[in-house]
Amino acid sequence: MEEKSFLKQKIDKESPNRNIVPVTTSIEVDGKLSVGGCSIEELVNKYDTPLYILDEITLRKSCKAYKNALEKYYPGKSLPIYASKANSSIFMSNLVSSEGLGLDAVSEGELLTALKGGVPNEKIVFHGNNKSDKEIEFAVRNNIKIIVDNDYDLKRLEKISNLLNHDLEIMIRFTPGIECHTHEYIRTGSFDSKFGFGIEYLNTLFAKISGTKYLKLKGLHAHIGSQIFELEPHKDLGEIMVKVILAAKKFGHNIDELNVGGGLGIKYTESDDPPSIDEWVKTISSSVVEACKKNNLEFPTLMCEPGRSIVSTAGITIYKIGAFKEIPGIRTYLSVDGGMSDNPRPITYQSNYSACLVNNPFNIDSKNKYTVAGKHCESGDVLFKEIELADCKTGDLICVFGTGAYNISMSSNYNRIPRPAALLVHEGEAEIIQKRESPFDLLKYDVLPDRFIKRN
């Protein structure tokens, strides 16, 4: 069997999304895996499994890559905004803010987390296709810019601004009609999408906003999907958005902010080949600059919303091997102590990852293929349908790479399984950024009705 070649590939420290592993990954003298200067085996001995681990250096390099590329390629003002749905926590909010990034949120919980993490309210944008009144009021009270997704949003914002007798700055989201080759569930830029106004409706929308007293149209937002490896759609997006700015001018709106969304892919497996962060930013910046020059338009503030490409590669998940089940001539199941409750993406999106054993990462002298199954009561709870691993036994550790995004944030308590702990590693030090839940934590919000208590 071939060794795990991705562990021997040169690490791209300038664009971490092009690596499978965190930039600080190494194999120690004992042949075992280390990240952030920390022995994974030692971390497990102290913190148990399943265990989420985030590498601080990888996170910061990803943030810097976006900031540096925007400063390099875009002559106007710019602001990269972290899409916090990828991994929302007080820690992540604090880290991206410390690197000068803004943050995008889609709920009161994400907004509160951002503010508690120290993100300035003027650098937060509030998304969502069905915002509640309570959420909108929270955003308005905290002077957070709202991205209007539909007429329902617009009507309520007009009502609130009238009640307050106060200007409200808004952005509008529209669907630019760009297709890209990605999973159909995460394709958000086509005409048929639950998100945003149809591009054909924009003139009517601009007229409506002109008729309001206090709503001030500040910017535009469009997003064409996630885990995208193509650059061409982003070339088209800049030109389309500038044309919409020009259309809005006819209705008296001076738009000076463009938010082009995110969507840059990462390298989950060896066959994945995403563009670098630098290439992506250069493409979208050049598109906007060219369109602005062509139309004699001042450069608007350029925003983008990376999420996965900032946090995913920085994250790994560690599992402990339990049961083996061999079905002769078909497959061998290897079960781990986690699964769909800590990583729902394989069962939801049929997502693929890369993995290795912690104590034998290079698969030396092995001819084993396994189906790695989770412990949940679902036949579909399978993390890997087929993966090559070194000889292993019950109690050995498996490291799954690229789990920083949409694992902890989409985790659940299915089967009443507590969520794992999350650690931050940096230069040989490990600190908890999310405590491990206990089974007793899951009972905190259960309530037994009084009449049942009396009956018992």
Give the start-to-end residue ranges of the domains of the chain: 5-55+312-442, 57-310
- How far apart are the C-alpha atoms of 330 and 315, rounded to whole Å? 32
Question: pTM for the full model?
Answer: 0.94
Say which residues have a Cβ less than 8 Å from residue 349's Cβ, sequence separation at least 6.
183, 185, 186
CATH of 5-55+312-442, one of 1.10.275.10, 2.40.37.10, 3.30.1490.20, 3.30.2320.50: 2.40.37.10
Are 401 and 394 in contact by the 8 Å Cβ rule? The answer is: no
Name the amino acid, one letter, at 297. L
Strand pairing of 301-304 and 257-259? parallel
Which residues in the chain show pLDDT less than 50? 1, 184-187
Residues above pLDDT 70, as percent of the chain? 96
The pLDDT value given to residue 286? 97
Name the amino acid, one letter, at 338. G
Name the CATH architecture for the domain at 57-310. Answer: Alpha-Beta Barrel (3.20)
CA 57, 62, 65 angle in degrees (round to 5)? Answer: 120
The pLDDT value given to residue 186? 47
Active-site amino acid positions? 377
The pLDDT value given to residue 177? 80
- How far apart are the C-alpha atoms of 91 and 134, rounded to whole Å? 25
Name the amino acid, one letter, at 52. Y
Say which residues have a Cβ less than 8 Å from residue 68's Cβ, sequence separation at least 6.
none
- How far apart are the C-alpha atoms of 42 and 298, rounded to whole Å? 55
